[in-house]
Structures are given as C-alpha cells and as structure tokens.
Amino acid sequence: MRAAGIDVGKTNLDLAFDDRPGARRFPNTPAGIAGLVRALTAAGVERVLVEATGGYEEPVLEACCDAGQWIARINPRQARDFARATGELAKTDAIDAQLLALMAGMFGDRLRRHVAPPQWQRELRDWLRRRGQVVILIQAQKQQAALAAPAVRKLVARTVTALDRELAAIERAMKALIDTHATAAMRSSKGLGPVFQATMLALLPELGHLNRREIAKLVGVAPMNRDSGQGKGKRRIRGGRAPVRVALYMATLSAVRWDPLMKAHYQQLRQRGKLAKVALVACMRKLLGIVNARRRDELRAEGLAIA
C-alpha cells in the first residue's frame, strides 16, 4: 500500500510519499490543489493523511474526496506525538509531510476516512464560523465602550449596531438551512436551540453513525482512564471537537434546568456527591447519547446503513 502525507500551510502544500525521500511543493491555490490531486492519482496512492491546520486543509480534503482519493485528517497533537516517537526532533514542512506519509502507511487502517460534506453543510459551517467571529467582535466592542470617553462610545455604538445587523442576517441564513435539514432528533429535548442544531449539522456529521461511547470520545466528553500497575488515576475528559463541546455545554446548562429527565439525572449525581462540574459533564454525555440514539433511529427508518 502506497501512502502520502500533505503538510498544509497558508501559502504552500508539501507532498511526500512513504517510499521515497523528499517532498514536492505546490501552492495552496485552486490550481495548486488540482496539480497535487493529479500527482496523487498518477502515483497510485491508496492512503493520504493531513493534519488539521485551522481550516486551511479543508479545500485539500474536499478536492481529494471529489477525486475519489482516500484521505484522513488528524489532530496536530497526534502528528507531533508520532514524530517524537520516531525520534525526529527537527521540524520543517518537508519533514512533517514525510512523517505524515509514514504514519498513513503504518496506521492507515486505524484512521477514519474523511467524507466531504455536501454543499449545504459547507455553507452552514461557514455561516457558523462567521457567527462566532461576529459574537466575539460585539463582546469586545462593548467591553471597550465601558472604558472609553463619551465621543468614542458613540463610534463604538455605531459599530455595534452594524455588527448586530450582520449577526441578524447570519442567523436568518442559518435558520433557513436548519429548517431544511435539522431533524426531530435535534429538537427532541429542551435546550437544543438553533446554535446547537447548526453545530451538530455542520461539525458533527457522524451523529447517529457511531455508538454512544464512540460519539462521546469524538466530541471529547468521554472520561479517559489513567491507570498503571496498582495505581488508578482520576478519569478526565480530553481532546475532541471543541466547538461541538461548547455548543453541547450550553445546551446542557439549559437542559438540566428545564428538561425533567436531564434535571433529575443532574440532581441524582449531585446527591451521590459528584462535584457540580463533574455532574454537568456527565449530563453532557447523557444528552449527546440521547440525541445520537434518536438520530440513529431516524437513519435506520430512512433505510441508511449505520456503521
């Protein structure tokens, strides 16, 4: 099996193969990505691996999927840990691409193939990302206005008004996509508002396709064992998809107040002596499991295969 690794940067893409030294550089532009995909096809590559790079990798992922290439994306921490395990302490774009190719060749069967989202999902993802940026800008402007002179506060107020209009437009566009694509499973409990629904649709397409343990681990709300020999360490959550976890946290805060099932579960955990934050994370895991199970049932009713 021939494998390849792609180190993604803002301006360049470095392509390396697991059976030859060196790396070939392409510009991170539509033309450059097209040339890279042609090089992968000509080389007969069976596995391609990239690491998450703040969104710069998404055009590469989608182009490879559209061309029928098998490609996976991993967390940068995994790539760095693998580099250390091989004894490679130096770091360059070419070295990173070579290590990704080596990792794809060795662990290709353990990686999850990336599936390119449909166009509506890509659009919703972009709206969701822009919404987050605008919300942060509004918060920053309001904080600055509190310490500014009256004349400056007037200017800040104009900026906030413009941002509020943009936020309203973004939320209208998101609502149109949510109304079309959100299912009953994503509205089945109190607290599952539009932002939660948009986040699940755009950033967690695996919902309903994995079991409750797998989906909890993917989101980052599964407690990880830390045992060695006679010692048993505290279980802690780690990793996962931070934006999804944030949306789930906010939904759970509302659910433990207004949903009878989640409220009872939270109170039971607190009565057993669990700390408030520990109980809340357990409720996050339970809420995610409920939504995942309901979505799985919907997929089965639609006749779609569940892994």
pLDDT tens by residue, the chain, 307 residues:
899 999 999 999 999 999 888 899 999 999 999 999 999 999 999 999 999 998 899 999 999 999 999 999 998 988 999 999 999 888 899 999 999 999 999 988 888 898 888 899 999 999 999 999 999 999 999 998 888 888 899 999 999 999 999 999 999 999 999 999 999 999 888 889 999 999 999 999 999 999 999 999 999 998 888 777 777 777 888 888 899 999 999 999 999 999 999 999 999 999 999 999 999 999 999 999 999 999 999 999 887 655 5
What is residue 190's predicted lDDT score, i.e. its pLDDT? 84
Residue 203: domain span: 195-301
Statement to judge: residues 207 and 274 lie in one domain: yes
Residue that terminates a domain, selected from 75, 93, 110: 110
235 in a domain, yes or no? yes
N residues, the chain: 307
What is d(CA 299, CA 307) in angstroms, rounded to the nearest whole number? 11
Residue that terminates a domain, selected from 110, 142, 172: 110
What is residue 116's predicted lDDT score, i.e. its pLDDT? 83
Q: How many CB atoms lie within 10 A of CB 126?
A: 15
Residue 286 has φ and ψ, to the nearest 5°, of -70, -45
CA atoms within 13 A on the CB side of 101: 26
Q: Angle formed by the axes of helices 260-271 and 276-301, to 10°?
A: 140
Statement to judge: residues 105 and 128 lie in one domain: no
Q: What is the pTM of this model?
A: 0.83
Statement to judge: residues 136 and 161 lie in one domain: yes
The sign of the CA dihedral 245, 247, 250, 254 is negative
Number of domains in the chain: 3
Q: List helix spans (H) across the chain.
A: 30-43, 58-66, 76-86, 93-107, 119-145, 150-181, 194-203, 212-219, 242-258, 260-271, 276-301
**Tokens for 258?**
């207004």
Residues whose CB is less than 8 angstroms from the CB of residue 143 and which lie 6 or more positions away in sequence, other chains included: none
What is d(CA 206, CA 123) in angstroms, rounded to the nearest whole number? 18
Statement to judge: residues 171 and 208 lie in one domain: no
> Do 47 and 76 form a contact (C-beta atoms < 8 A)?
no
What is d(CA 63, CA 15) in angstroms, rounded to the nearest whole number? 15
15 in a domain, yes or no? yes
Statement to judge: residues 143 and 171 lie in one domain: yes
Residue that terminates a domain, selected from 110, 128, 146: 110
What is residue 60's predicted lDDT score, i.e. its pLDDT? 94
- Distance of CA 34 to CAs 37, 66, 195, 285, Å? 5, 11, 34, 41
Statement to judge: residues 199 and 282 lie in one domain: yes
Statement to judge: residues 143 and 100 lie in one domain: no
What is d(CA 128, CA 142) in angstroms, rounded to the nearest whole number? 21
189 in a domain, yes or no? no
DSSP-assigned states of every residue in 263-278: HHHHHHHHHTT--HHH
| Tokens 């999850």, residue located | 112
The CATH number covering residue 75 comes to 3.30.420.10
> Do 221 and 200 form a contact (C-beta atoms < 8 A)?
no
Statement to judge: residues 70 and 163 lie in one domain: no
306 in a domain, yes or no? no
What is d(CA 58, CA 122) in angstroms, rounded to the nearest whole number? 10
What is residue 278's predicted lDDT score, i.e. its pLDDT? 93
Statement to judge: residues 95 and 148 lie in one domain: no
CA atoms within 13 A on the CB side of 220: 14
Statement to judge: residues 212 and 288 lie in one domain: yes
Statement to judge: residues 87 and 147 lie in one domain: no
188 in a domain, yes or no? no
What is d(CA 106, CA 55) in angstroms, rounded to the nearest whole number? 25
219 in a domain, yes or no? yes
Residue 91 has φ and ψ, to the nearest 5°, of -140, 115
Strand partners, 240: none
38 in a domain, yes or no? yes
307 in a domain, yes or no? no
Statement to judge: residues 78 and 16 lie in one domain: yes
SS3 3: strand
**Tokens for 44?**
């007969």
**Tokens for 117?**
């989202």
